[in-house]
Each structure stands twice: as structure tokens, then as C-alpha cells.
Structure 1
Amino acid sequence: MRIRHNRNVLSAARHGMRWTSSLAAAAVLSGCMVGPDYVAQNVQLKPIAKATQAGADNKREADIEQWWKEFDDPMLSEIVRDVLAQNLDLAAALARVEQARAAAAFAGAQLLPTVDANASATAEHQSVVGPEGSLARNFPGYGRDQKEYAVGAAASWEIDVAGGLRRNAGAGRLEYEAAEADKAGTRVTVLADAADAYVQVRGLQARLAVAEDQIRTEQHLLDLVKARKAAGAATEREVAQADALLRQARTLPPALKTALEAQLNRLDVLLGVQPHTYAAKLAIPSPIPAVPGSSFTATPGELLRRRPDILAAERRLAAANERIGAAIADYYPKVSLSGVLGFDSLSADKLFTAQAFQPLITAGLRWRLFDFGKVDAEVAAAKGRNAEAIAQYRLTVLHAVEDVENAFVGLSQSQLRASELEAEVTSLQRARDLSETAYQSGAITLTDVLDADRQLLSARDDLDATRADAARAAVGAYRALGGGWSADDSALATAPGLSAPQTTAR
């Protein structure tokens, strides 16, 4: 009995050695990988013409990753902190990243063997008129009640001979990195939108204060003209003109309040709360954030490395390239190995014995020799998707350059306009002061003084609107540069093979 047991054990060992040898041979065979290897696109870009901040007060380089701190506004920093913690677009982007990570893990797991454990116990009262029972009942000692016990482990492995599984795993990893880039892009957009809404709130509050001053001025003018008419020094036409000016001034606050409420509601939604939640916190007016004095520029290389939409498009292009290889791999045979190591016995007390040991090894081959062009169609479709990804990537780069050019032109021109308006307000303030002096000396009427006030308030309104536009343009420039995220906080920092696409400045 012991000798037989040893022989069975030796036989099982030999089977194990053959299994190991088969796995080693398979590993050697799976070293090749069909399909084109990815080559980063060589993007031909000239230096970006307008990508330098105009009017920077010093040479300090701006912190692009945390650009909101450049505005030196505590409330803006608080809003950014809350947006990062509460924004629902960011929460959805994070969920999409988790989905992509799971899909990549699944594709990678396809390269590894699958091992299943199984056990069963069967009790049967056999028919004596069935195929087996009708024969077995003629043997001595036959009993209709039978039991069977089985326990074991089954393993299966598809050998990646042509590299199709590795191509799919690589594509899954690249699509996960694209999802990470999309999340970074969502962060860039959300932060810029929140800052834009906040700047507009402060700008509208400043303009609303000016509009209220304008109404008071026009009311004073109307009262004065009415008094002069009562004294016989003014006509009904002058009264009507003054009344029209007052009514015109009163039309501005409703429009400003409507726009202000819309921006407050927009900010609440960005903060992931019901509209009118943060209105009280922002109710007290505060100065319009000034354009940061630090400098920032954009070069083609920096743009390609910082813009999340470009990174996402590049990763999807690389994934599309991997899918070509996965499709081409279907031209080649697929080899699989499977095996079972287990015990099978009619008696529970003999289950774990050498006589009950029952190994099984199976090698399989599947080759799509005649499929009426299905593989050809799959390869053609994969190449078509890759061509689309190339075009989409190049279009994304062009749109990014367009964004930067527009943002920096808007920033520089709004700063120039604000500078001219500041000079205009200074001149009008001086004219108003001189009018006050002339009025006190009796050289002009109060109407002239109030008219100077009206011109000054109109210029101040225009200046406040332009200052808000300049601050918004600065936010837009940071957005266009892909500011607001750090690769160190993303899987993109350690993603294998991730590098900025090549660029040639002309």
C-alpha cells in the first residue's frame, strides 16, 4: 500500500514538473507583442505671440498651481478651499477615475492565471432501469444508494502569445491616466469658474454702490431744478430733463442686482449647495481683486505639459494605438492551459488518499482562420479610431493655443483700458473739485457741479466694470495655462511612459 502511494505521489510530482515546464515555455512564447509601438506626436508650434502678462509689477514668477493665492484675497482662498471639498463636478470626475482604475485593474488581471477552489458531496439513489443502473445491478454487492465526494482546485491561463492581452492592459492603464487628466481638467475649470463668479460678485457690488450714488446725485439735481422753477429761474423742460436723468439712473440697479444674484447662485452651485446659501457671507462688499503683479508666460512645451485636456487627449491617443495591437493579435492563435488538482472518492474516509488523487491537465488552441473578414474589420476600426484620436489631439492643442492667445490679449487690453479709465477718473475728480470751488465763489451754478458729479460717477462705474474684467481676464489666463492642479497629487506623476508630447517651435 505504501509503495503504491509513493508511486502515485511520484506521478503527481512528474505531472507538476510538466505543468511548470509548460508554463515556462508559455512565458517564453508570450514575450512578443504584435502591433505598432506608440510614438508621441511631434507637434509643430510657433512661439505663442501674446503669452506674456502685460504690466507685471515685478519679476516674481506666479505660482500657477495655486494661482488664487496671487490675488491676496482671503475670501477667494476660502471659496477655493470649499469648492475643492464640496464641488459635485469634481466628485463625479473622481468617480469616473475610480471606474477607469477598476477597468485597468481588470484588464491587467487578464494576464494572470485564474484559480478556483471547488468541493462537492453527492448522494444518489440510482435507478435500476437507467443506462448505468440496469448494468450495475447485475454485479454482486450492488447498492442503489451511492455517495461521491470531490474536492480540488482548478487553474486556467490564457497565454498571451501575440501580446493582445498586454495591449489591452496597456490601453486600460492609459485610459485610466486619461481619466486622471480629465479630473485635473475639471479641477482647473471649476476653480476658474468659482473665481470668475467671485470677481463678478465684487465687481457688481462696486458698481451697485456707484449706481446708488448716481441716483442720489440725480435726485439732488431734480430737487434743485424744481426749486429753481418755483422761483421762476428754470423751465418745465429742465424739470422734465432732470426727471428723465433720475429715472435713467434708477434703471441700472435692478439690472445689476439681477446679475449679482445670478453670480451668487452660480457660486453656490459650484460650492455644491443650494442657491442663496453663501449670499449672507458675501453680502458685505469688498474691493475688487486686483490683477496679480507677478509675471507668468507660456511656451509651447509648458502648455503641452500643463494643460490637462492635452494630456488626456495624448493618453487616449496612446490607448487607441494599443487597441490596434490588441486587434492585430486576433490574427494569431490563442493558447490556453488549464488544470485540476483534486480528490474524488465514493467514501469520505478515503477522500484524501493517493488512490483518490485525480489530476487533470488540458492545453487548448483557438485560431480564427476563417471568420469572413471579422478580424480585418476590427483592425480597420481600431486604426480608424487611432486616426480620429490623432486629429482630436491636434485639435485640442490648437484650441489650447487659441485659449492662451485670447486670454492674454484680453488681460493686456483690459489692463490698458483700466489704466486709461483711472486717468479719466482722476481728471474728472479734479474737474469736480474745481467745479465745487467755482460754485462756492458764485462763478457757476449747482447744476454744473451736479453734472460734474454725474460724469465722475459714470466714469467710476466704467472703471469698476473694467477692473472686474481685468481680474476675470487674469483668472482666464491662469485657466488657459492649465493652472490649479499639481501632477504630484495625481497618478499622472508616476504613470509609466507618460511624457509631454514632442514640440518643435518654429
Structure 2
Amino acid sequence: MNAMPSSCRHPCSAHRFVLSLALGALAGCAAGPDYVRPAIPVNAGYAHQPMLAAREAGRPEPPLDAWWSGFDDPELDRIVGRALAQNLDLAAALARVEQARAAAREAGARLAPQGSLDGQAAREYQSTKGTLGEIASNLPGYRRTQTLETLGAGASWELDLAGGLHRGAEAARAEAEAAEASQDGVRVMVAAEAADSYFQVRGAQERLRLAQQQIDTEAQLVDLVGLRLAGGLATARELAQARALWLQARATLPPLRIALAQQLHRLDVLMGVTPGAYAAELQAPGADFSVPAVGADGGPQALLRRRPDVIAAERRLAASNARIGVAMAEYYPKVSLGGLLGVESLHSGSLFSSAAFQPQAVLGLHWRLFDFGRVDAEVAQARGANAEALAQYRQSMLRATEDVENAMVSLAELETQHRELRDEVAAHQQARDAAQDAYKGGAASLLDVLEEDRQLLASRDQLARVHADDARAAVSLFRALGGGWTGSAVQPTEGAVAGR
């Protein structure tokens, strides 16, 4: 950031004062450093991006601003669209943007002259014991009942020779842009949270379906053992063991129902309605969604214009830089021009006469010469806030890159786990069928069948959970990349390093 010359920072004489007025009028000198986006070192690509290359082959890649369409699930599209239209956090963020834009307009309006119109009509029964009444009562024609009528149009204008108002308007515009980026960040969050909750709902429903299927299978086994016991081919212990496994499978239902209800309530709140409002729409089984490819073109440098939190941090940094100029402008005198065209009369009917006309012109000067270091302290505080904003901007970029790397690892590893679990479930199903056939023929014990049932239930439940987690990992990666909005018009940071 470029600092101003020392001559612009410490005026201390009448000659310097006159010189500063001339330079300010001719060149529009603005106090404080001009903002330059800081360079942030970034890698050319993501460390774990090669892990996704194999899974992305042949898969469609949805547009980043509407990534949820890539899952080929109409219900998901409807839920995300409804959340983006009705979410209350997003509505609050929009209200904050309107406030920030209004503050920016107000700061910009301070640069222009201000006009006003004032009028007054006052009727008074004057005391003859007061200062004015006691003197005036001795004059001929004095009347205690008086009417004072005034009307005036005035204008004033602060010349902003040091540029403090310009810096204030610059800071307000940057803060409005930060609020807009934060709103986009809420949009990204809402879309991702809605999709994440939706996939948890579908995962819980699938796990419930599998659990019920397993319960039905265990019930059939209990019936089989009961028949064998009646025929003298089984023992009461075997029947108790079969019932225990059946009850164990039934015990898995309540936690899954709790998780399902909680996610349905979460979805309703994300869609801005009372919990339970849309639950009935999701009772039917959903489409068999597919996880799309996730494009990460542009590498970490693309996060500078895609991640709303990074954009907002950079805009707050620009605002804090302008605030330094606002503070430094207090080193300089403030000059204002004012004028008033007015009329005043104590006699009704003569308000608009030439005798009642009283124009006024004002040249104002305000200069904080002796404030015992207050301006120095304000400048130091503004510089400290700027240093804090710079650290937060750099940290936001590091966290953004961390989010992407973590999401990439999760997605790639869950894809691998999902493939292996499918093979595991097929193997357990084959082993379970073989064990039951052997038990029917008397070649295997009931314990063998029960063990295979337990392992099959666990592997099928884990497969359903990992399938949902796989989709959730893709959602996390889309969110980490800043997907869910149209993108920023803010250009990437100048001088950003493409590699280290």
C-alpha cells in the first residue's frame, strides 16, 4: 500500500496550510494510502485433485452455480429451489445488504452540497420584566403581543480538501460489496445445507428399509426354528437365539427414525416453514440419485473469485484501508461554505418585503490543532484494524483451500469404500444363503446362520450410510469450491502467485 508523502501528513505552519488548500483544490489530494490488493501465494493446483481423476471419467459435470442439478433428482432440485426462495437467513442477509447499500449512498451524498428550507411563525406575549421586554416597553408604540415570522433557504458544502469524505465513501462502498459477498455466502450455505439434509433423509430412509427387510428375514428364521423345534430337530436355546437376533434388528429402528425426523425438521427450517410442513412430500422413496463429477478447474486461484467469504474478507480489507484515510484527513483543516436566503419580520404581511430580506454567507474553518494526540491515536487504530483485516483475508484463503482439500479426500475415499462395500454385501448375502441352506439340511448349526445374518445386516447398513455420505461429500466439495451462485465480478488478486 502506498503511503502519502510526509508533507501531506503533518501540517504545522500557515504556509503549509495554504499550500495544502491549493494542492487539494487542484489535484484532489486524498489522505491515506491508496488501496492495492495484496498478493497471496497459492498453488497451481490442489494436492488431492489427482485422486478424483479416476471417478470423474465419463461422469457429467454440472455447472458450478447450479451443481444440485447434477444429481439427477427432481426432488432435490425442488427442495434447493424452495430453500433459496424462502430461507430466513438468506432474507436477513439481503436486508443487511440493503442497509450497507443505503450507508454507501449516504456516505456518497456527503460529498455534495446540502440544502434546507426552514420556516417559523411564533406568537408571543412578551414579559415587561425580561431583558428585552423591559427595554422595549419604554419605546413608543410598544406592544406586548408580537408575531415573529421567518422563512429561509440555506445551503452548505464541505469542500473535502483532504479527501476524508471521499475515503469515507470509498470505505462504505467496499463494506456494501462485502455485505453482498456475505449474502452470496449465505446462499452457498443454504443450498449446501439443504442438499446435505436431503441426502441424510434419503440415507435414513434406505437404512430403515434395509432394517425392516432384515427384520422380516429374521422373523422367517424364528418361524423356521420353531417348526424344527416342534419336530425335535432344534432346541429351545436355538429358538431363543433366533428371537434375540430378531429383536436386535428391531432395536435398530428407533435411532434411525429419530435421525430421519430430525433431518426432516431441519429441511423445513431451511425452507423457512414450521417443522413438519413438508415432511409428507418426502415419505415416498426418492430417486436413485447419482453423484456427479466435480470440476475444480482454475485451482486455488479460482477461490479468490468464487468463494464469497474470501471476497468479503478482501472487500473488508479495502474498507479498512480507506478508513486510514478518513482518520488521516483529521490532520488537515476542514473548510465549508454556507449561504442563507431568508426573510424575517415582526409585522404580519411584510414578510416578503425588501426590508425583511436578510441574506447571509458563511465561510467555515475547523482544524484540530491541539488534541493531545487524539488524531495520532485514531490513525494508529485504523492502521491496526487494517492489519487485522489483512490477516483475516489471508486466513480466509487458507481455510478455503483446506476445505477443498478435505472435501476432495473425503469424496475420493468414500467412492473407494462404496465400491468395496458393494462387493462385501454380495459376499455376505451369498454366505448367508448358503448357511441357511446348510442349516435346513442339518449340515450347519444355527449359530452359523445367526452370525452370517449379523454380518449381512451390518454391511448393508454401512453401504446405505456410505452411499448417502458419498453424496454429502460431493455437496461439501461443491460448497468448498464456492458453488451455488453465479460468481463474482471482482477480478482475482493482482500479483497472485500461481505456484510456490
1:474 corresponds to 2:474: yes
Give the match's secondary structure for 1:118.
strand
Displacement of 1:239 after TM fit? 2.9
The letter for the 2-side match of 1:499 is Q
- Normalized against structure 1, the TM-score is what? 0.86
Deviation per CA, 1:406-448: give whole Å up to 9, x if none.
00111111111111222333444555677788899x6956967
Residues 461 and 443 from structure 1, CA distance in 2 versus in 1: closer, same or farther, beyond 3 angstroms?
same
Residue 48 of structure 1 corresponds to: 46
**After superposition, where does 1:386-405 map in structure 2 within 5 Å?**
386-405=386-405
Residues 208 and 354 from structure 1, CA distance in 2 versus in 1: closer, same or farther, beyond 3 angstroms?
same
Residue 299 of structure 2 corresponds to: 299
Deviation per CA, 1:336-392: give whole Å up to 9, x if none.
121101223344444334443321011111111111111111111111111111111
Residue 169 of structure 1 corresponds to: 169
Q: State which drifts further: 106-115 or 314-323.
A: 106-115
The letter for the 1-side match of 2:240 is A
Residues 384 and 218 from structure 1, CA distance in 2 versus in 1: closer, same or farther, beyond 3 angstroms?
same
The letter for the 2-side match of 1:49 is A
The letter for the 1-side match of 2:493 is P
Give the match's secondary structure for 1:280.
helix
**After superposition, where does 1:88-237 map in structure 2 within 5 Å?**
88-127=88-127, 130-136=130-136, 141-237=141-237
Question: What is the CA–CA distance in structure 2 between the aligned matches of 1:474 and 1:235, rounded to whole Å?
Answer: 51
User: What RMSD, in angstroms, separates the aligned Cα atoms of the two structures?
Assistant: 2.8
Question: What is the CA–CA distance in structure 2 between the aligned matches of 1:475 and 1:353, rounded to whole Å?
Answer: 77
The 8 Å contact of residues 296 and 481 in structure 2, kept in 1 or not, is answered as no
Residue 504 of structure 1 corresponds to: 497
Residue 334 of structure 1 corresponds to: 334
1:34 corresponds to 2:31: yes
Residue 251 of structure 2 corresponds to: 251
Question: What is the CA–CA distance in structure 2 between the aligned matches of 1:151 and 1:383, rounded to whole Å?
Answer: 47
Specify every segment of 5 or more residues in structure 1 that has no aligned partner in the other structure, as ranges.
1-23
Question: What is the CA–CA distance in structure 2 between the aligned matches of 1:148 and 1:402, rounded to whole Å?
Answer: 73
The 8 Å contact of residues 245 and 450 in structure 2, kept in 1 or not, is answered as no
Q: Percent identity?
A: 54
Question: What is the CA–CA distance in structure 2 between the aligned matches of 1:59 and 1:232, rounded to whole Å?
Answer: 58
The letter for the 1-side match of 2:387 is A
Deviation per CA, 1:60-98: give whole Å up to 9, x if none.
543110111111111111111211121111111112112
Displacement of 1:255 after TM fit? 1.2
Displacement of 1:226 after TM fit? 3.0
Displacement of 1:139 after TM fit? 5.2
Residues 135 and 421 from structure 1, CA distance in 2 versus in 1: closer, same or farther, beyond 3 angstroms?
closer
Residues 369 and 325 from structure 1, CA distance in 2 versus in 1: closer, same or farther, beyond 3 angstroms?
same
The 8 Å contact of residues 59 and 292 in structure 2, kept in 1 or not, is answered as no
Give the match's secondary structure for 2:338.
strand
The 8 Å contact of residues 290 and 467 in structure 1, kept in 2 or not, is answered as no
The 8 Å contact of residues 118 and 153 in structure 1, kept in 2 or not, is answered as yes
Displacement of 1:31 after TM fit? 1.3
Give the match's secondary structure for 1:165.
helix
Deviation per CA, 1:144-164: give whole Å up to 9, x if none.
554443222011222211111
Question: What is the CA–CA distance in structure 1 between the aligned matches of 2:261 and 2:212, rounded to whole Å?
Answer: 17
- Normalized against structure 2, the TM-score is what? 0.87
Give the match's secondary structure for 1:32.
coil
Q: State which drifts further: 222-231 or 91-100.
A: 222-231
Displacement of 1:323 after TM fit? 0.6
Question: What is the CA–CA distance in structure 1 between the aligned matches of 2:25 and 2:228, rounded to whole Å?
Answer: 105
Specify every segment of 5 or more residues in structure 2 that has no aligned partner in the other structure, as ranges.
1-20
The 8 Å contact of residues 175 and 315 in structure 1, kept in 2 or not, is answered as yes
Displacement of 1:166 after TM fit? 1.2
Give the match's secondary structure for 1:368.
coil
The letter for the 2-side match of 1:248 is Q
Displacement of 1:301 after TM fit? 1.7
Q: When the two structures are aligned, how many residues end up with a matched partner?
A: 474
Residues 121 and 295 from structure 1, CA distance in 2 versus in 1: closer, same or farther, beyond 3 angstroms?
closer
Deviation per CA, 1:120-179: give whole Å up to 9, x if none.
234444555654455555655555554443222011222211111111111111111111
Displacement of 1:280 after TM fit? 0.9
Residue 464 of structure 1 corresponds to: 464
